[in-house]
Structure 1
Amino acid sequence: MNNHHDILIKELIKLLEGGGAHATLEDALDGIPADKLGVKPHGLPYSIWQLTEHIRIAQWDMLEFSKDGNHQSPKWPDDYWPKEAEPAEGAWDKTVAAIKADRKAFIELLKSDDIYQPIPHGDGQSILREALQIGDHNSYHTSEIILLRRLLGIWK
């Protein structure tokens, strides 16, 4: 790395992939018993499944917005949160795989585009802003997943 742009891209990738001083999203999602995915402990309004699916939907929306001027975002907030507390058969694995695939696609976008320029179909957003928003959003909800796991007695 020999310039500031390369250093910034490297740091953004670290932000999106998580870790460092904190648990990654993969750490937070690893080894959750299937019977705990839909539990809403202590009257909380969401389950681990709902948080994870919300991460997938929001990250997918930011990725698609960043690359497609014809993308229509889901209706906020209703379409960003699953209604059911528990995943349907096979949905959990699909959601976790989609989060990883969309993150990888966004990282490729980070590497290929001028991250500072406004997105042509946006109203001032840039790839840099979207990267920071994805990183912030995912880390916020990752910590909530870990908190739910602690309340359920299934965290390290």
Structure 2
Amino acid sequence: MSESKHSDNEQYEQNPLIDQLLALLRGGQAHVTFDDAVRDFPADLRGVVPENLSHSAWQVLEHLRIAQRDILNFSAPPTGGYQPMQWPDDYWPKSSTPPGLSAWEQSIAAVRKDREHFEALLLKPGVDLYKPFRWGEGQNLLREALLIADHNAYHLGEFVVLRRLLGIWNP
């Protein structure tokens, strides 16, 4: 075990694998961070679907939020248990534009909050990353952490492409 600093500077004793999972979930090592991908995205371009692409930035952001929430709910089911969603209808917003002025920021805040909730699962004392969930088909917390990181990295790459095509990528 090694000692690390948590983002709020609270000391905690940590497994090196969990340290790496947290870094992977937060991004910025091999790819752009979530915050960099969504930062200062002009409101008038959030609903634009560039030629030869399938989705707007709004749809990608919402898909990322919805999928991450689904993985969180699968990993730590709310009261009443996990309720599976229908692919693809439940995972992608129908409209290319945000439904209101505050929707963009609300979605960003939800992505951050859900990631923090997932990170809290990893930081629980005595957490067993390898123990299969009682529900599902053998999935465990390690698999779900890697799934969130992989899925988010893919869609953050889409954000970079969208921004480049829209002429608003300033790394």
- Name the TM-score class by shorter chain: over 0.9
Listed as ranges, the gaps of 5+ residues in structure 1 are none
- Structure (1 or 2) with the greater strand fraction: 2
| Equivalent residues in 2 for 1:54-133, closer than 5 Å | 54-68=63-77, 70-89=81-100, 90-112=102-124, 113-133=127-147
Aligned length: 155
Structure 1 vs Structure 2: percent identity of aligned residues? Answer: 51
Q: Which amino acid aligns with 1:76?
A: W
Partner residue in 1 for 2:9: none
> How far apart are residue 20 of structure 1 and its match?
1.6
1:153 paired residue number: 167
Superposed CA offset, 1:35-69 (max 9, x none): 01010111311000000100000000000110117
For structure 2, the 5+ residue unaligned runs are 4-13
TM-score, normalised by the number of residues in structure 1: 0.95
Distance 1:56 1:20 in 2: 21
The TM-score with structure 2 as length reference comes to 0.87
RMSD: 1.4
Q: Could you tell me how far 1:30 is from its partner in structure 2?
A: 0.2
Q: Between Structure 1 and Structure 2, which shows a larger proportion of helix residues?
A: 1
Q: Which has the higher contact order (CA 8 A, sep 6+)?
A: 1
Which consecutive segments of 4 or more residues in structure 1 shift more than 3 A? none
One-letter amino acid of the counterpart of residue 132, structure 1: L
